Amino acid sequence: MSTPTVPSVLFVCVHNAGRSQMAAAFLTHLAGDRVQVRSAGSAPADQVNPAVVEAMREVGIDISAETPKVLTVEAVQSSDVVITMGCGDACPYFPGKRYLDWTLDDPAGQGVAAVRPIRDAIEQRVRGLLADLGIHAAA
Half-sphere exposure of 26 (CA within 13 A, CB side): 25
- Catalytic hit among 31, 91, 115, 118: 91
- Catalytic hit among 87, 115, 122, 130: 87
Q: Is there a catalytic annotation at residue 13?
A: yes
> Contact, 132 vs 29, CB < 8 A?
no
- Catalytic hit among 9, 10, 12, 13: 13
DSSP run (H or E) holding 11: strand 8-13
Residues sharing a CB contact under 8 Å with residue 130, sequence separation 6 or more, in sequence order: 27, 30, 31, 35, 136, 137
| C-alpha to C-alpha distance for 49 and 63, rounded to whole angstroms | 10
| C-alpha to C-alpha distance for 139 and 121, rounded to whole angstroms | 18
Which residues are catalytically annotated? 13, 87, 91
